[in-house]
Amino acid sequence: MRACVPLIVAMLCSLTWAGKLDSCASRCNEKFNRDAACQCDHRCSWHWDCCEDYEHLCTAEEDPKEPEAFLELEEEAEEAPASNLYSAPNSCRGRCHEAFHRHHPCHCNARCPEFGNCCKDFESQCGHEGFSRSSDAITKAELQGISEKIYRADINKAQKEDIVLNSQNRISPSETRDQVDHCPEPLFTYVNEKLFSKPTYAAFINLLNNYQRATGRGEHFSAQQLAEQDTFLREVMKTAVMKELYGFLHHQNRYSSEQEFVNDLKNMWFGLYSRGNEEGDSSGFEHVFSGEVKKGKVTGFHNWIRFYMQEKEGLVDYYSHIYDGPWESYPDVLAMQFNWDGYYKEVGSAFIGSSPEFEFALYSLCFIARPGKTCQLSLGGHPLAIQTYTWDKSTYGNGKKYIATAYVVSSTR
């Protein structure tokens, strides 16, 4: 009987250890563990392999730690030139009510909460001065509520019979750097292209070829291409999706009129800035929806329509995926690996089957409500997180920031 005791103890210990590897209890911020069933490091949301209790145990409820965005961010977050007028350019100490200065990396005036460019210690340093960041904050519950309304309003989305997807082989996050084609067949077996005749789809597709994908080469738009930007904004604003978004932001006192909202969307998405050596070589829209190539790697490129059209032309080779969302109808989410005409994308997340206005609305919502942070939403009862980043080297208007990137980072379980 005694001989069995060590074996039983070993089995119990083994089960206990296995249980630990299924949970983030006592594992928050540990390094990647190849033997674990799930992960608890700060990169797990990016690699889609967090344990189920990661959000509960390892992140703050309303202000989760920003994940690293590996290929997405690259040099986009380099700070703007710091001013020599004060000794702590990233702090509000001694700067409350200071006038806006475009070269300051962050700000401390009454309007910085509106523009999303306050210094991190703004509230602690300036809250007693009569204004506070938290008073106008959009809550997580409000974000989840409006995202569900936008989800239900997307009547232009693909139906199940409109797309036949062939996702094939799923790989582990640790395999994404191998650049191996695990899927011999295309991702899209069939797409009902009648979708593309809908006004928002047609206007969106007209924009995709208006860009040079290589950073460092300036963008120069013709009058027709500029008109196509206006057409896209005009068409999406006719949809129930964008009407829901504007109504919500108007109620939140973010915009006083629809025209103000449209003007801001045009600036934040289509305004040009420089990611390379050429002035005006990039924009948020180009990066997120059309895709770019920088330093030999694909950056951005988060749109299923663009992917389908490039795959159809033989320019995209689908390699594999590491995540397939829980949605049983469209829009769904896929995080995949692919080669774009000779350049590799290690992890590229995209909504599948959504209308252009749906993606445009959710990314805009998150950039406005959680600029540079993780934005926690809800779609059809399933949680979803979107990460945005601000472009910090240049601004428009009175210090407002352009979109550097926006993409789905996780579906927290």
**Cis upstream peptide for 331 (omega within 30°):** yes
The greatest distance separating any two alpha carbons of the chain, rounded to the nearest whole angstrom, comes to 88
Active-site residue, from 140, 157, 294, 302: 302
| CB burial readout 336-357, b (16+ within 10 A) else e | bbbbbeebbbbbbbbbbbbbbb
Identify the residue whose tokens are 């119990």: 12
HSE-CB for 88 with a 13 A CA cutoff? 12
Query: SS3 for 384?
Result: strand
Identify the residue whose tokens are 């910090």: 392
Identify the DSSP state of 410. E
Q: Confirm whether 42 is a catalytic residue.
A: no
Neighbours of 97 (CB within 10 A): 12
Identify the DSSP state of 260. H
Yes or no: say if 408 and 397 are a contact pair by the CB < 8 Å rule.
Answer: no
Active-site residue, from 107, 345, 393, 400: 345
Q: Confirm whether 182 is a catalytic residue.
A: no
First-to-last C-alpha distance (Å) of the chain: 44
**Closest to 233 measured CA to CA, from 319, 128, 360, 407:** 360
State the DSSP string of 153-214. Answer: H-TTSPPGGGEEE----B--GGGGGG------S-SEEEE-GGGGGSHHHHHHHHHHTSS-SB
State the DSSP string of 77-116. Answer: TPPPPPPSSSS-TT--TTTTTPPP-TTSSSB-STTHHHHT
User: What is the C-alpha separation between 164 and 23, in angstroms, rounded?
Assistant: 35
Active-site residue, from 287, 294, 321, 401: 287
Q: Confirm whether 128 is a catalytic residue.
A: no
- Joined together, the tokens standing for residue 135 give 């008073």
Yes or no: say if 178 and 169 are a contact pair by the CB < 8 Å rule.
Answer: no
Active site residues: 287, 302, 345
